[in-house]
Structure 1
Amino acid sequence: MAAEPLTELEAAIGTIMDIYHNYAIMEEGAPRLSFNAFNKMVTQQVPHFLKDVGSLDEKMKSLDVNQDSELKFNEYWRVTGEFAKAIWEENVLEVLKT
């Protein structure tokens, strides 16, 4: 039996997960993003947000809840939410201008 196609949201979540796994390294049985991998990922995947992020090192430290110098998926998910919020706010501002 063929699986049903993914919805747009399911596919988008899958893409976010795939990007994390493409940049993360496996350590102790779990994928993690190092500071260097995070910088590379942000530079390559969300270059339009770099002007708004400020220091990537400071951003990484603020996301690194347990202060282990790595981002686990739940910590990475927070930054994804921040990027989504920035896009949403920009779109709302554009609508309000019209």
Structure 2
Amino acid sequence: MEAAICTLVTQFKMHAGSEGSSSTLSKDEFHKLVATQLPNYVKNASDPGAIDQLMGSLDENNDGELTFSEFWQLIGKLASKQGGFTQ
């Protein structure tokens, strides 16, 4: 599990900061991360409209960027679905 956490943090940091803040994901950074790292887990990962909608559902403070905590919600949802823990 430690390797998985390290990978998640590394991927977040690698994608964050190419535009604006190095501690958040912009819309474009989030789209690139999802398209390259989660293409089989996120439906319509190549559809910008679907990614915008997904980002909006995760962006708790509506600032147009995702913090790691906001991004982590997606990881939790995907892991729960993969494990069959969703209702």
The two structures have a TM-score, normalised by structure 1, of: 0.73
Structure 1 gaps of 5+ residues are 1-8, 91-98
Structure with the higher helix share, 1 or 2: 1
Identify which of 54, 60, 66 aligns with 1:71. Answer: 66
Displacement over 3 Å in runs of 4+? none
Counterpart of 1:42 in structure 2 is 34
Q: CA shift at 1:72, angstroms?
A: 0.5
Rounded to whole Å, the distance in 1 between the matches of 2:44 and 2:3 is: 27
Choose which of 62, 70, 76 in structure 2 pairs with 1:81.
Answer: 76
Query: 2:2: which partner in 1?
Result: 10
| Mapped partners of 1:18, 1:38: distance in 2 | 14
What is the RMSD of the two structures over their aligned residues, measured on CA atoms?
2.1
CA distance in 1 between partners of 2:80 and 2:44 (Å): 12
Q: CA deviation at 1:86?
A: 1.9
Return the TM-score normalized by structure 2.
0.81
The percent identity for this pair of structures is 35
- Higher normalized strand content (fraction of residues): 1
Larger Rg: 1
Distance 1:63 1:50 in 2: 14
